[in-house]
Every structure is written in structure tokens, then in C-alpha cells.
Structure 1
Amino acid sequence: MAKPNGVCDRPTAVTFEGCNGLQLRGLLIQNSPRNHISIDGCNGTQVSGLTLYSPGDSPNTDGIDMAHSTHVSITNSNFHCGDDCIAINSGCSDVNITGVSCGPGHGISVGSLGKDGDFAQVDSIRVNYCNFTNTLTGVRVKTWPGGTGFAKNIFFDHIFINAAYHPIIIDQHYCNGASFCPEKGKAVQVSNVFFTNVQGTSAGPEAIKLDCSSDVPCQNIQLQNVKLTSSTPGKSKVYGTCHSAMGRFGSIPQVTCR
């Protein structure tokens, strides 16, 4: 039966729950009905050599969704999907992602976190040597107003962006596409987030967006050796915006926080 919004219930293609020492290698999944792979409550997971392929306009076809999982390694894989290539949700720690190519899709995201006032905790996430081509976003942290908890020690290093519409985002006013997301007096604390050696092009004008909560500002956000230009030859320069983020911003375009 269709849901009220017209979206049918569709299953995840492959789900792993409560696994220890999971090893997933060389898998191809094409045209998943919803998210391709779910990893929930797992410890010591190693993923490599995956190819996940669904059209860029297929709704909610995340590549890998993970939650409540620790010591996760994802390497040398290709993701083509209609939502986040990898989504790192609450309860995750010590996650290492290296050598992943994403596009189309919505990039690699921490979150979303804190929906409906939930407590969230994410710690020690490393995303290295990953490529993003024609994605909606590149590397992103997203939290809902009104949540609690923390997302900290997140490292995006040696990232190459090719025509992502929003290459770098921290969004503490996320509400799943709604145009107005008011603050609610609480927020998931975002801190120690490092964007280092991020190079490439932006398809949209706003290449860098640091939109943090006035109630719980982002702490120790670092942009180091970040250079993003327009993907359209001859187009005006891209820009960066910042609200309620504390840190050091060494980037092109320049970011000044307010």
C-alpha cells in the first residue's frame, strides 16, 4: 500500500545486523529498491571492492547506511546512487573510508543526526582519498535542530571534487529539504571537524557552507589547503558562507564567519 506521500514501502537490498568481524568484498548491487546496504550494530566490519549502481534520480537509494557500529573500514569501492553514497549515523565510531568514488549521489555524510530531539553520538570518522563527480554534495555533516549529543573528531582529507553542487557542508539546520528549519534551543554539538587538502570544482555558487546553530555553535572547525573553483568556464567565482562556527578557515573561496 502506498504511503500518504505516495512513496511506496521499499526494502533495503542487503542488511547486516549485529555482526562481528563482517567481511564484504567484491559485491555488485544494481537498481536497489531502496538503500543498497545497511550495517547496524556491527563491530569490526571490512568492506572493499563494492560496486553499487542505481540511477541518480532514484529516491532514497543510499549506498551504505550505517548505525551503532564501530571499527568499520570501507575501501576501494564505487557508488552510483540517488542519495548519500555513505551515511554515517548515530552510534558510529572509528570509521575509516578510503579510496571511494561517489557519483551520482549525495556524497558522504555524517548524519543526519538528532531528528525528533534524539540523542546522537558519532566519534572518530576518517574519510581519505575519495572522489566525488557530479554529486549533489561532497563531504557533509548534517544535524536536525532540537537534537542533543555530539559529532566530533571527523576528518576529511585528500578529497577531490568534480562539479559537486555543494562540495563542503556543515548543516545544523537540516530538516530533510524543508525551506525553513528554525532553531529549537538545543542542537547536536559538532566539533573537531577537519577539511584538509580538498581540491576541485563546484557546480553551484556556494562551494562551502558552514551553517551552525546559534544555540550550540560548531567548535574547532578547520579548513586547511581547500581550493574550490567554478566548474563552469568563465562563470563568476564561487563563494563560502559561515554562521556560528569557531575555528580556522584557510580556503579558496575565503570564509568569514558571523
Structure 2
Amino acid sequence: MEGVVAMFFMLGISLSHLVTGNAQTYFDVGKFGAVGDGNTDDSPVLGKILAPSVDARGTFKYDDCWLCFKHVDGLTVDGPGQIDGNGATWWTKVPISERPTALHFHLCTNLRLHGLTHLNSQKNHISIHNCSGVSISDLHIIAPSDSPNTDGINIALSSQLLISNTFIGTGDDCVAINGGSSNINITSVTCGPGHGISIGSLGEDGTSENVDQVHVTGCTFNQTMNGARIKTVPGGTGFARDISFEEITLIASGNPIVIDQHYCDGRSHHCQDQENALAVSDVTFSGFQGTSAAVEAINLDCSKQGCRGITVNNVNISSSVGKDLRVVCNNAYGTSDSTLPVVSCLLS
């Protein structure tokens, strides 16, 4: 039903109140019988709320379900407060396919997330699916570096989305941008630990997927496994285009710049080209400064169809481990200027 927020808290919620409707309509959940101790199941009290706004000022806790918002226009989820997934009890015991996302938004428009702390999700901390007009700011998303598949923010089929002034340190991608997404702007995000800010993987199982108009600016990668990354699977179709990563600070980041068109089986390695490949074009890496913990500071590993319009300029990357840095360049076409290490395949 349009405008209904379905919230499922199977093993208890701790929070002080909810704000629903406009900002002046408050519901004190305690008056409705909610205990809010983090152990008691308060879901019968909360049930379903006709709400475009939730103000979280406590700690959400759950063990085997997620918080899910669907078909809502003008929803605001505003902190302070915590959403604690207690993920350690799941990561080694439950297959990824059976683990829930902590906070999931589907078919929401004009969505605002602000001020919350997200801890130790069972899987993705925040999932934005088929939404438009989304503003995410001032979040803290935290999980151990070895926590599996704990993406900070996972985006798919969504458009007109801004992420700003946010800290993300997890065991997987800080931000993952998947197929069907466009007009995504990410600014002033600190990522680490984690796998960087990634587009893809795209084209799994021969699917056709498109991503365009993604702009990442003024972000920091601190001891991440990867930095700015595009990954596609051989055999897929579609495109990734009009993408930029600019004014990036690197602090002992592994693999600071990556285009990997041979990604498959859930890990990055050189899978064989197939007849089809996503078209990667009009991608800019500019203003990268800092250190790489990996020898391959720049890896442009494109399919035999080639990546077009690749720009790498004003980049100064040195080694944090005292080794000579390398550039990998396969089937990449474009320009490079004022860059260390030198990207010779792109020189005019």
C-alpha cells in the first residue's frame, strides 16, 4: 500500500520515539507498550505505521530480520541513534543468501537518511533499491575489516542520489553501485577499512546492466583493499559511462585505481574474454594524491572490445611500502597527463 512503512523487528528494538507524518507528530512508543530494552520483541507494538518520517534516538537491535521501508514518499530517517545488526553471530554460521540487510529501502522517493550509526550488519548495512531523490549524510557505518559481504551502502536501480559527509569502515565495499543506477553523487566520504567505492560488478550471468553519471569527489581511502573501482563480468552487456573520481586522498590504499573487466566468481582475477562485454567509456580519474599499499597502483584491465575515453590526470601516487609502483594497461584508450606512476598507454 502506498505510504505504508512496514517495520519488522523480530527480536527487539531500543528507541525512545518515532516521528511520523510531519516533523511535529510524535509517537512515544513507550506509551503504546514498547519496552525498548534491546531484548524484548516490540514488533507487535510498532506494526505498520503510515509514516513519511522516522526519528531514531536510541538503538535498534535485531537478530534474524531487517528494517524495511517500501513505497514511501518523503521519508526521513533521522538520528542520533544506532542500528546494531549483531553480525558476528551470523558471519561464520549463516550463508550469505540467508542473511538479511539491516536497513532496506524499496521504491521510495524523496528519501533522507541522516545522523545514524550503523554497526555490524549481517549483510549490507543499507540497501537502496529502485529509489529516486535520495539524500544520505552524516552517517557512521562500522564493521570489522574481515566481516564478509558487509557493504556500507548498496545501490541498485536508483537515481538522483547524494551521499555526503559520511564515514564507512566495513568488510566489503564502502559504497557499491549496481545496475540500473544513474545520477549518483558521492562527496566527502571517508572509506576504510573496506573494498573502496565500486561500480559493479556488472553483467553477471550474461545480464545487460547500465550505470551512468556517477561522480565521486573529495573522498578518502584509508587502508582500503581497493580505491576507485569499476568491475564487470565477461559475457555481460550494457554500459558503464560518464563516471568520475576526482580529488581523492589515498592513505596506504591497496589498488587505488581499477577498471577490471575480467571479474568473476566473486573475486577479481583474469577470467577469459567472451564475445560480449559491457562498454566502459568516458571515465575520469583526476586529482589522486597519497600512497598505495599495492604494487599495482593503476590497473586498467579492459576487455578485448576496449575501454574508450579513459582520462587519468593530475595523479601523484607513491608507495607506502617502499616498492616501485606498476601500471597495468590492457585495451584502454584515452589520455593521461601529469601522472605518477606514468600511464604510458594513455599518453598523447
The normalised TM-score by structure 2 is: 0.71
Determine whether 1:52 maps to 2:141.
Answer: yes
The structure whose Rg is larger is 2
Structure 2 CA distance for aligned equivalents of residues 125 and 62 of structure 1: 18
Question: Which letter does structure 1 place at the counterpart of 2:331?
Answer: S
Unaligned runs of 5+ in 1: none
2:190 aligned with 1:101: yes
Match of 1:148 in 2: 237
**Equivalent residue number for residue 343 of structure 2:** 255
Q: Tell me by how many angstroms 1:178 deviates.
A: 6.0
Q: Where does structure 2 lack aligned partners over 5 or more consecutive residues?
A: 1-89
Per the alignment, residue 61 of structure 1 pairs with 150
Q: Is the 8 A contact 2:287 2:315 kept in 1?
A: yes
Q: Describe the shift of the 1:77–1:180 C-alpha distance in structure 2 as closer, same or farther (beyond 3 A).
A: same
User: In structure 2, the residue corresponding to 1:22 is in which secondary structure?
Assistant: strand
The 3-state SS of whatever aligns with 1:257 is helix
**1:132-165 deviation per Cα after TM superposition (whole angstroms, max 9, x unaligned):** 1010000000000000000000010100011111
1:68-107 paired onto structure 2 within 5 Å: 68-107=157-196
Query: What are the superposed Cα offsets for residues 50-94 of structure 1, whole Å, 9 maximum, x if unpaired?
Result: 100000000000000000101000000000100000000001110
Aligned mate of 1:209, from 280, 299, 305 = 299
| Percent of pairs with identical residues | 47
Detail structure 1 runs of 4+ shifted over 4 Å in the superposition: 5-8
Structure 1's 212 and 99: CA in aligned 2 closer, same or farther, altered over 3 A? same
Q: 2:282 aligns with which of 162, 179, 192?
A: 192
Q: Larger % of helix: which?
A: 2
Deviation, structure 1 residue 7: 5.2
Q: Deviations over 1:37-59 (max 9, x none)?
A: 00000010000001000000000
Q: Aligned partners of 1:2, 1:208: CA distance in 2, in Å?
A: 32
The answer to whether the 8 Å contact 2:96/2:123 transfers is: no
Q: 1:238 to 1:126 in 2, by over 3 A?
A: same
Distance 1:179 1:94, change over 3 A: closer
Q: Secondary structure at the match of 2:205?
A: helix
The one-letter code of the counterpart of 1:82 is G
Q: Which has the higher strand share?
A: 1
* Count of equivalent residues: 255
Contact kept? 1:2, 1:8, Cα under 8 Å: no
Mapped partners of 2:147, 2:222: distance in 1? 17
**RMSD of Structure 2 on Structure 1 (CA):** 1.9
